[in-house]
Amino acid sequence: MSARIVSRTVNRRAFLGTAVAASLLAASREPVLTAAPEAGASESLIDVNVSLSRWPARRLPHDETPELVDKLRRAGVTQAWAGSLEAVLHKDLAAVNQRLTEECHRHGRGLLRPFGSINPRWPDWEEELRRCAEEYLMPGVRLHPSYHGYRLDDPAFARLLRLAADRRLIVQLVFAMEDERMMHPLLRVPAVEPAPLASLMKATPSLRLVLLNALRTLRGEALRTLLAAGEVFVEIAMLEGVGGVEALLAQVPSSRVLFGSHAPLFYFESALLKLQESPLSAEQRGALRQANARRLSAAA
């Protein structure tokens, strides 16, 4: 067994031990143990995939904003792009976006950047998009097609992409929120079908699109085709397999890959481990940890 395989096995075992301990501590609301820091952990991190508030099906460790902010700061995160878990089922997205903005300013000023939610099938969504951009000064919006009941070939979705691009908003498209095996029986939704996206990107060349939780189902030629269609980025929260980041970078440019944890639904340490167990150059590590996200948000 090679040294690289041994190292990965040890890291994976260490993480599993941490995850078990974390689940036990969560019941008593004690701080969750953190994984051993990786080499280069002093570098800053930008996490493009975190959420605030409560998941409707169960309580999660760090689903109180001050706890999550403390967790992220201790892990070296200097900026976190935050959506709201309330946006999945709440019908009043205007109120959700207002609460999200207030929560980010109250508890995470300088760390949390709010990404509001828009449903293009509901009345007055154009006005809500305007508020997100002009009143809340959000850098982007986060979309939940599966939970909001529309497909990507819906003309309203194409219009939303055009208006967001005109306002220089980053669009985060959520492919899934959790593994289907974890879904509540009344909350079973399909993953997003990405087929229309390539043509939509070509029709909206100024759009900046981030695919959240996509790498569990979007792979291979379909992924490469989509990234080649425009300014499209992916993050690693649902990337599976030992050495997953290394395998991903063998297929797609490192300039299109971002760091995302999907906290608090996923353990933050899991995303860090994915960087640790793949051999990355200093340039690749810096790109994934923060440089790509910083360059993307600078254009907002």
For 117, phi then psi, to 5°, come to: -110, 140
Q: How far apart are the first and last CA of the chain?
A: 47
Instruction: Give CA torsion, residues 23, 215, 13, 180, to 10 deg.
Output: 40
Per-residue pLDDT, 299:
67
Contact (CB, 8 A) for 215 and 175 = no
What distance in Å separates the CA atoms of residue 227 and residue 197, rounded to the nearest whole number?
10
pTM for the full predicted model: 0.84
Per-residue pLDDT, 4:
39
Q: Which amino acid would we find at residue 129? A: L
What distance in Å separates the CA atoms of residue 210 and residue 170, rounded to the nearest whole number?
7
Which H or E run includes 107?
A: helix 93-108
Average pLDDT value for the chain: 85
What distance in Å separates the CA atoms of residue 206 and residue 81, rounded to the nearest whole number?
21
Task: Pull the structure tokens for residue 61.
Answer: 């460790």
Per-residue pLDDT, 19:
44
Per-residue pLDDT, 300:
60
Domain boundaries, the chain: 46-298
CB neighbours (10 Å) of residue 61? 21
Contact (CB, 8 A) for 224 and 251 = yes
| Unique residue bearing structure tokens 């939970």 | 147
Q: Which residues of the chain have pLDDT under 70?
A: 1-42, 180-184, 186, 299-300
* CATH code linked to domain 46-298: 3.20.20.140
Write the pLDDT tens digit of every residue in 253-299.
Answer: 999 999 999 999 999 999 999 999 999 999 999 999 999 999 999 86
